[in-house]
Structure 1
Amino acid sequence: MRKFILLSFAFTLLFSCSKDDEVIPKEGENPTDKVTLNNKVNNFVWKAMNSWYNWQEDVPNLADSKDDNTNDYYTYLNSFSTPNSLFESLKHADDDFSWFIEDYVAQQQQFQGTSKTFGFRPQLVQVGTTDYVVMYVQHVSKGSPADLEGFKRGDIINAINGTVMTLSNYKSVFNGYFEETSEFSFTEKDGQTFKEKKTITQAVVSDNPVHLTKIFDNVNGKKVGYLLYNGFRSSYNDELNAAFGELKYAGVQELVLDLRINGGGSVQTSAYLASMIHEEAGKDKFAELKFNNKHPKQDSPYYFSNTLNVYGVDGRKTSEETINRLSGISKLYVLTSDKTASASEMIINGLRPFIEVKLIGTKTVGKNEGSITLYDSPTTDYTFHDGKGVNTSHKMAMQPIVFQIYNKLGQNDYGDGFEPNILIEEWKHWDNILPFGDENEIVLKTALDDIRGLSAKSTYEVKSFGRIDINVSINKFEQEMYIDSHYFNK
């Protein structure tokens, strides 16, 4: 069922505000010499960050004394030409994931997988020792313009809008990936022999993250379940539960969870997924969130559970479902990449105290922290309360890191990412990329071979190629980990 939930309902709680939005002259200040604030949004940026930011105590310009003198405070805020530039100046050196939001409505939609896109994710590689660059298609969203035009995982593209990519021009050529309409040139496996051209136009796509469920009936005498899951989107909780209903009904004895292109999402959905995987955990602690010293009351655990919340198209809870929980899963295989982040890593970290978690693929991102959306809403301490108190003169907001996440044992030490138990680099096999769920697809095959008791090895010779890293994210917010209203309403 196609649905999306707006995050305007994600933080429906009312906080007491420690400081008012209007800064009044302090004792000893001369009102006639009052400095005028050029941009009131800058005041929102500073105050919200001062209240919620994870590293507030470690950033000198976020000190509580910063606004003690109104004139000095306004002079400081006026030194920044835009709210975004002020926000960036307040970020801690260890912060790789906080960002400023120009339009929070678009952000709310993208959190749930709704965005304007071609609908395919590419990876760029250098062709051997030549100067040529190609990109292979990693993933295609169902119902997207790329899907409707026949793009397939494993397709090889060497030109955009008629220009062949090389080491010297690929960055500028690749800009076509972000244009409204572009032409893509497909090649044979050699990356050079022309096959065909396809022109597609970006469209709004709602991408169901529960992409593929499959059951392998006889892998060393065992039934193995496989799930390709691409995002912890709370509006698809029931679809995720239905997928585990299939796995449970089939009686799977091993589980392969493919999180290679899953950058995270809802913390609560991560706890639901953990509950689906490991019934024996009962209602034990899965994870715990810890905020800064100004919000200790928000520190709280997440538990394994037997029920989940179902949401309607308006973003509100409509019902509950009994969770389809697998029993007898003592080892979880997780397929990973450098796109596996936040709520995906939370699954790995949270389940490790209970069962063996074996990682196959490449190193994960290393995001052991999460955020909430902060709005220009001082009466609710800059959180969103059904729109009440929000400054409607603009749509700017912020998505700063505000909490750290730990497992049952208090472990949080994966800031540099999780190393795989078995290293398999998909991009090195760019000229033989098989569909997700294919038993011979290189990363999945490695997991199945491990279940068979076979050592990992390549199915064919790996030639000399160079990976090219470039920002090809379909969704700006795809590596986010956020909190649902359920957390604050407990």
Structure 2
Amino acid sequence: MKILKPLIVVFIVSSLLTSCFKDNDDTATVTRDINDFVWKGMNSWYNWQTEVPDLSDTKDDNSSEYAAYLNQFSTPEDLFNSLRYQYGVTDRFSWFIDDYIVQEQQFQGISNSFGLKFQAVQINNNGDIILYIKYVSNNSPASNSNILRGDIINAINGTVLNTSNYNSIVNDLYKETVTLSFVTENNGVLTPTEDKTITATIVYENPVYLAKVFNNIDGKKVGYLVYNGFRSSYNDEINAAFATFKNENIDELILDLRLNGGGSVATSSYLASMIDADAGEGIFANLEFNSKHTGENGSYNFTNTLNVYNADNVKTGEETINRLTTINRLFVLVSENTASASEMVINGLKPYIPVKLIGTTTYGKNVGSITLYDSPGSDYTDRASANPNHSNAMQPIVFQIFNKNGDSDYTQGFTPDIEVKEYEYWNNILPFGDENEAVLKAALDDIRGYTTKTGTIKKASSNIKSLDLKPFNKFEKEMYLENDFSLN
């Protein structure tokens, strides 16, 4: 067994969302250094290095031609994006990091935020658009303003949303302060209730949002977990949730990953280990790197222990994993936001137990990344020796992930076994854990043996469609490695 020491993701929460770097007077020198770091880091680690002509190993053989090549780009980020394989199509995932301290904090659920997730819906043929609240973080500006899941908004900063202005007005959601106009709905008519102005602050978001046991679903005990991100500093919280499920001797488990865009590979393996004790210490996933880093290839196994971290992501101990022995299948609630490490759990468990998906098609991300720093002496993996003149880094895709059977073909996402589109119930979005919440009800009804998907729940109308919102954080669909996880 070898420890993956070169692949280091260090998280420091020392000065929230404030870079400790100052601009260097010699801007040209710093830019040249960053460009050199971008090319050489990508040349070494990038998953599709051999598919990108400008990442050829001979590109830097002639120093003057190499310098001229680097100098043609206006910014290091432009260079980085030019090196992405089929940018936006095959590689939809790599990104350039402006400030890695901010990025590291966001990986642990620490961000400057309203504490809200929205869904935009065109509700009729007249072009009217609303936002409904999908999620509210605890102890956030939104929760402190008594904003609730299911609340409906029809105006932002005083402008009522429609198909003509949506693309411009929705950008106000990404400002520091926003005023939201709330309405109620009755037979398609929206009635204004109140306006609420919220300002973003630092939010610490616990991804273990809700753990609940339904005691009598057709005579069965059903565990239900809303889990919103694979964040290693909350490993002990998710283990505690499974302690409850284990003590209750649940018969079925519903894992709600609708808002879970991924995160730590190690935490993903821990969660899978909690779900299926019968997997023993078998292979959960295999990772494959490019031809320059085949020494990093290896398997992640199911395990009986997990690492515990504090808020600064410093390891403080270990715990025995609470592995379930009373279930023989898994229900997963999914959406287009279910990505990366979430899909890794689905894919990794499929060879071991039946996995039934309820919701909409998942995102489709079977690759993962590491953070690369401007530290050439470590092959760009050592944060401690990074160039002190700037805080740029990269988060390129560097490995592909496979399950025990060698399956990795889900770039188009996993298709649900039972399709339920939450936005079609936009005027009746219930709290997580409510038995009549549309997507959860479909899973519970399947456990009951009902043939209908959502029973008597009524859709808002047939003339509606969901609209896209850009993510509030780049890392929302991420899968990354940490420094102390072992490969066999």
CA offset at residue 174 of structure 1? Answer: 1.1
Give the equivalent residue in structure 1 for 2:63.
Answer: 70
The reply on whether 1:79 has 2:88 as its aligned counterpart is no
CA offset at residue 472 of structure 1? Answer: 4.0
CA offset at residue 421 of structure 1? Answer: 0.3
Give the equivalent residue in structure 1 for 2:34.
Answer: 41
1:237 to 235, 238, 250: 235
Would the aligned equivalents of 1:134 and 1:191 in 2 still touch at CA under 8 Å? no
List per-residue Cα deviations over 1:54-105 (Å, max 9, x = no partner): 0001100000010111111111111111100000000001111001111111
How large is the RMSD of aligned CA atoms in angstroms? Answer: 1.7
**Local SS of the residue matching 1:153:** coil
Give the equivalent residue in structure 2 for 1:404.
Answer: 400
List per-residue Cα deviations over 1:125-173 (Å, max 9, x = no partner): 1121122111000000111100110010000000011111111001221
TM-score (norm 1): 0.91
Distance, in Å, in 2 between the alignment partners of 1:60 and 1:127 is 47
Give the equivalent residue in structure 1 for 2:477.
Answer: 479
List per-residue Cα deviations over 1:206-263 (Å, max 9, x = no partner): 1000000010001111100000000000000000000000111111010000000000
CA offset at residue 191 of structure 1? Answer: 6.0
Would the aligned equivalents of 2:122 and 2:128 in 1 still touch at CA under 8 Å? yes
CA offset at residue 486 of structure 1? Answer: 1.6
Distance, in Å, in 2 between the alignment partners of 1:465 and 1:155 is 20
2:44 to 44, 51, 71: 51
List per-residue Cα deviations over 1:246-303 (Å, max 9, x = no partner): 1111110100000000000000000000000001111111111110000011101111
**Local SS of the residue matching 1:188:** strand
Would the aligned equivalents of 2:343 and 2:364 in 1 still touch at CA under 8 Å? yes
Counterpart of 1:86 in structure 2: which amino acid?
A: L
Quote the sequence identity (%). Answer: 56
Unmatched tracts of structure 1, length 5 or more = 1-9, 16-35
Give the equivalent residue in structure 2 for 1:22.
Answer: none
Counterpart of 1:332 in structure 2: which amino acid?
A: L
Q: 1:181 to 1:270 in 2, by over 3 A?
A: same
2:126 to 124, 130, 136: 130
Distance, in Å, in 2 between the alignment partners of 1:247 and 1:451 is 17
List per-residue Cα deviations over 1:25-47 (Å, max 9, x = no partner): xxxxxxxxxxx996221100000
The reply on whether 1:453 has 2:449 as its aligned counterpart is yes
Distance, in Å, in 2 between the alignment partners of 1:76 and 1:488 is 39
Give the equivalent residue in structure 1 for 2:385.
Answer: 389
Q: 1:437 to 1:121 in 2, by over 3 A?
A: same
Q: 1:487 to 1:393 in 2, by over 3 A?
A: same
Distance, in Å, in 1 between the alignment partners of 2:444 and 2:109 is 30
Distance, in Å, in 2 between the alignment partners of 1:412 and 1:48 is 26
Distance, in Å, in 1 between the alignment partners of 2:94 and 2:362 is 18
The reply on whether 1:199 has 2:192 as its aligned counterpart is no
Give the equivalent residue in structure 2 for 1:316.
Answer: 314
Distance, in Å, in 2 between the alignment partners of 1:321 and 1:311 is 11
Give the equivalent residue in structure 2 for 1:149.
Answer: 145
1:347-426 equivalences in 2 (<5 Å): 347-384=345-382, 387-426=383-422
Distance, in Å, in 2 between the alignment partners of 1:153 and 1:61 is 47
Q: 1:252 to 1:131 in 2, by over 3 A?
A: same
Would the aligned equivalents of 1:12 and 1:488 in 2 still touch at CA under 8 Å? no
Q: 1:212 to 1:438 in 2, by over 3 A?
A: same
CA offset at residue 474 of structure 1? Answer: 3.1
Counterpart of 1:40 in structure 2: which amino acid?
A: D
Give the equivalent residue in structure 2 for 1:95.
Answer: 91
CA offset at residue 318 of structure 1? Answer: 1.1
Give the equivalent residue in structure 1 for 2:157.
Answer: 161
CA offset at residue 374 of structure 1? Answer: 0.5
List per-residue Cα deviations over 1:391-417 (Å, max 9, x = no partner): 010011110000000001111011110
Distance, in Å, in 2 between the alignment partners of 1:434 and 1:266 is 29
Distance, in Å, in 2 between the alignment partners of 1:239 and 1:465 is 42
